[in-house]
Amino acid sequence: MSDAGGLFAGIFARGEVDTGETAWLQAMLDTEAALARALERAGLAAEGAGAAVTAAAVAGNFDPGELGRQAALTGNPVPALARALAARLPAAAAAAVHQGATSQDIMDTAMMLLARNGTDAVLGSLSDASGAAAALTAEHEETMMIGRTLLQQAVPVTFGLVAAGWMTGLDEARRTLAGVRRERLAVQFGGAAGTLAALGTAGPQVAALLAGELGLAEPALPWHTSRLRITELAAALAGACAAAGKIARDVTLLAQTEVAEVREGAEPDGPGPRRGGSSAMPHKRNPVAAIAVLGCARQAPGLLATLTASAEQEHQRAAGAWHAEWQPLTRLLHLTGSAAAWCAELLAGLEVDAAAMRANLDDAGGLPLAEHVTTVLAPRLGRQAAHDLVAGAAARSGRTGRPFRDELASAVAGSSSGAAIGPEEIDAALDPRGYLGAAGQFVRRALDAHQDCERALANPR
């Protein structure tokens, strides 16, 4: 379930999220140990049983491969784990192992523990990425560039506004994921069919004690076949991937040789492999961090779809749908951690070429200001007539190579209204500095919202 140490680990195992088999095994053992402690506190296990089980519940004491082979007999690894754990204990302590629980209680609670640790790591990387985006936003508030819609040049914007959009997306993803981490990660403890009948009237007390031992929320009732917690977690993780992926896609486009407005941070010169190199083309400087983010993020929608499809579960225990959750959710958590870590690295080292941005804007020959010219002409010619005049001038400029300004001046002079605007007004209308709208205001609002997000996440309710 993990890429740690594997062939693809350099790409898909970035960051601090650990969802490998050892982490899974330890989370299950932590749940069993916490249950033993809760049972002892409730007076349902021998004195010292909780400490004894906790001491034995160390992943290194167990063979994951053997547990996996035994899982083929029962449909999950928990029964074999419970037997192996009990076998390491004296009889009095062994009696506390798995008492009152069902396998799904242990698996679901272990998943919540993995999710808590994993989301903490993801949130840390997202915070670093958002902070780097905030620095770019503030530094480039007035750096003009061409805006692009449908992959075509549109109207002028600022790179500060672009970076503010990146930052805001990351902050929204952080808030959503932090809310799930705070409110929706809950202990699972319902016994055979959600009644805790094996514990008699003490069941709810043990459930509360178990939640306290693990630091997880205590739900109103067991959620064996109510999987909204899983789908909400998965959706929040996929949202974080989406926020990181949007940034990475923009960077790959802006870093194209023919655009060259940004580039990933360079590594020092020297012998040996270097970041961004190609196996065939020595001149290449590929945006590796952005590519890695996209490689992680592109897998998230399919994993989310699997988890959403698995949420329809029968009666009090699902036949297969619950089992279908384990690997997709583990994988999604792992990939989100990697995407977030790569994104933080990408933004921290991003090099912005403001001169190239201005050159690309100027090379458009004023065409991105056509909307502005139309707005200036509309009160004198009427909006539709102004639009048609400017569109015609733009089309002729494209066909003939004659500057748009000159075609525009000729069109205005030859219009039925005569010289609707003079050369000086045309020059002013074609100055991108005069057509940035509320870009600066939006940047400042975004930075204020970022600070609000920082305060809210530092002091959660």
Q: Report helix angle 383-400 to 404-413, nearest 10.
A: 130
Q: Report helix angle 78-87 to 21-41, nearest 10.
A: 60
Looking at residue 434, what DSSP letter applies?
A: G
The residues assigned a catalytic role are 278, 317
Beta partners for 408? none
The contacts of residue 393 (CB under 8 Å, 6+ apart) are 404, 407, 408, 410, 411
> If 0-12 CB within 10 Å is exposed, 13-18 middle and 19+ buried, where does residue 116 land?
middle
Amino acid at site 284:
K
Amino acid at site 306:
T
> Which structure tokens are listed for 300?
């998230």
With contact defined as beta carbons under 8 Å apart, do 45 and 91 qualify? no
> Which structure tokens are listed for 294?
């996209």
Tell me which residue has tokens 């007539």: 385
> Which structure tokens are listed for 42?
């409730």
Q: Report helix angle 228-254 to 159-183, nearest 10.
A: 160
**Nearest to residue 233, comparing CAs of 165, 325, 312, 168?**
325
CA distance 298 to 245: 8
CA distance 294 to 339: 8
CA distance 296 to 282: 26
CA distance 174 to 156: 30
With contact defined as beta carbons under 8 Å apart, do 404 and 365 qualify? yes
